[in-house]
Structure 1
Amino acid sequence: MGQSADLLAVLIDADNVSASKIGAVLTEVARFGTASVKRIYGDWTNTQLSTWKQTANEHVIQPVQQFANTVGKNATDSALIIDAMDLLYTRRFSGFCIVSSDSDFTRLATRIREEGVTVHGFGERKTPAAFRNACDTFTYLDVLEVPKDEPAAAAPARKSASELRQDTKLVAGLRSCITTASGEEGWANLSNVGSLMRKQQPDFDSRNWGYAKLSDLVKVIGLFVLEPRPAGGLQIRSKSK
């Protein structure tokens, strides 16, 4: 059976993610495709997961029970990994969404990508770089908009032009990607630049600096020229020094 163009498996580590964020996560997931499988893993006899029970029901997420059989060992992670591999071998999915801040899923993400399947990671800022970089894209939970009826964590503060220009990793990354994606006249398709940035830095997201769109971010930086493309969309080039 071939992969669907947009069929996704969403696997959530209940021990590692707040229930208040899942609505925003699923909204973000919808940008990538259809979440045909949604499972959440944890020890549901544990009172610490009580807030998840109603949330999982509201969002039609299948709870998977995993008892903590051994102290110091995370059985939940093992259950999620086994299920992920079973789903991978069905060849039905074009992408997996792993919702966790745990580095234990680094090898899982790498293995899925070895099969030519996309991995979208979601987690907190504390997520180790190894897991973030093992994903095709990685989105921090604090940049996602939480529904109005749910408590929201503080979103990243919007950075000023001077602060953005001092972010050498950001500016150098944009310049490099513009050079790679540009034609003879130095113009590059902005969407292509954004795609290249995410390939090099899976956690790249304009919302990390407080801007909803990449175009808003580059405008404020002030080191680039942004214009409409004749064929639609926007094009970008570095300003002449």
Structure 2
Amino acid sequence: MTEESRIALLIDADNCPAAKIEVILDELAKYGVTNVRRAYGNWKSSGLKGWEEVLHEYAIQPIQQFAYTKGKNATDSAMIIDAMDLLYTQKLDAFCIASSDSDFTPLVMRIRANGLKVYGFGEKKTPMPFVNACSRFLYLETLGVAAPAEEDPAAAVQKKSAKELKGDARLVTLLRNAVDACLDEDGWAALSAVGSHISNQTSFDQRNYGYKKLSDLIEATGLFEAQRRNTHLYLRDKRTVKKAPA
């Protein structure tokens, strides 16, 4: 029996809504067991009442952190120190950082340098350096049914159109390079191989574009031809297909 991956979940309670904890844990369950669950913040603050109500229900350990210096984020510092301690004292396979704060970018890069995966969860305001540093990053607005009160619920999960997808130069380059890297002798790339290649290369999740499956996102771009062989889907760039003579 294959041993399940061990994950440490570190939550910046100041920058992560308590209403999303269930979907965060549900997502992490796809990758392994969340053995360590800690939420950081000043628990004397009224702003963390929402978190206090779910700590016991989801077996999350609250870590008290006072704001010793005005204007400095003591919570971030405490999380970083604990993360490094866990990295070297516990046998873990991955970390999860739940925050929308870019201060954790160097920490994520350090953890990944040790060969561990880092899953990130944050709101759409999360700076791109932190998003790109993670092995996989998911916007909280795309998880679950509820959306933040100040946002339009429909907009939170709206699919990007083919025009929007084609206009995303980074996405187009990422997909085309992945397909090209995974081509077999017949000039087709298995979707499973393409997905693995992308995951190994950068932080990516099709749900951030409004699509449940990678195949749905790729189909929506209109950039690739698809061929199904039994239960497996294969792709090739439409630019490489030679036009038949008139």
TM-score under structure 1 normalisation?
A: 0.89
Matches for 1:145-156 after TM superposition, within 5 Å: 145-146=144-145, 151-153=146-148, 154=153, 155-156=156-157
Equivalent residues of 1:5, 1:94 under 8 A apart? no
Runs of 5+ unmatched residues, structure 1: none
Q: Give 1:229 shift.
A: 3.7
Aligned equivalent of 1:33 = 32
- Give me the whole-angstrom Cα distance separating, in 2, the residues matched to 1:113 and 1:163: 31
- Give me the whole-angstrom Cα distance separating, in 1, the residues matched to 2:4 and 2:211: 29
- Give me the whole-angstrom Cα distance separating, in 2, the residues matched to 1:161 and 1:228: 22
- Give me the whole-angstrom Cα distance separating, in 2, the residues matched to 1:16 and 1:162: 33
- Give me the whole-angstrom Cα distance separating, in 1, the residues matched to 2:124 and 2:200: 19
- Give me the whole-angstrom Cα distance separating, in 1, the residues matched to 2:132 and 2:220: 27
2:174 is aligned with 1:179 = no
**Percent identical:** 52
Point out 4+ residue stretches in structure 1 off by more than 4 angstroms: none
Aligned equivalent of 1:110 = 109
Q: Give 1:235 shift.
A: 1.7
| Comparing 219-228 and 59-68, the one that deviates more | 219-228
Q: How many matched pairs?
A: 232
Aligned equivalent of 2:215 = 215
**SS of match in other structure, 2:67:** coil
Cα 1:129–1:163 shift into 2, 3 Å: closer
- Give me the whole-angstrom Cα distance separating, in 2, the residues matched to 1:194 and 1:8: 22
Aligned equivalent of 1:131 = 130
| Comparing 192-201 and 135-144, the one that deviates more | 192-201
- Give me the whole-angstrom Cα distance separating, in 1, the residues matched to 2:187 and 2:141: 35
**SS of match in other structure, 2:15:** coil
Deviation string 1:152-187 (CA, Å, 9 cap, x unpaired) is 343231123333333333222211110011122221
Runs of 5+ unmatched residues, structure 2: none
Cα 1:91–1:44 shift into 2, 3 Å: closer
Deviation string 1:177-210 (CA, Å, 9 cap, x unpaired) is 10011122221121221232234431x2211221
TM-score under structure 2 normalisation?
A: 0.88
Equivalent residues of 1:66, 1:79 under 8 A apart? yes
Aligned equivalent of 1:21 = 20
Q: Give 1:238 shift.
A: 1.4
Matches for 1:67-216 after TM superposition, within 5 Å: 67-146=66-145, 151-153=146-148, 154=153, 155-202=156-203, 204-216=204-216
What RMSD in Å do the two structures reach over aligned CA positions? 1.7
Equivalent residues of 1:189, 1:234 under 8 A apart? yes
The letter of the residue matching 1:79 is: A
**SS of match in other structure, 2:14:** coil
Equivalent residues of 2:4, 2:33 under 8 A apart? no
Deviation string 1:84-141 (CA, Å, 9 cap, x unpaired) is 1111112410000011111111111111112111111111122122222221111111
Aligned equivalent of 1:46 = 45
- Give me the whole-angstrom Cα distance separating, in 2, the residues matched to 1:137 and 1:59: 23
Deviation string 1:214-236 (CA, Å, 9 cap, x unpaired) is 11111222221223345x43221
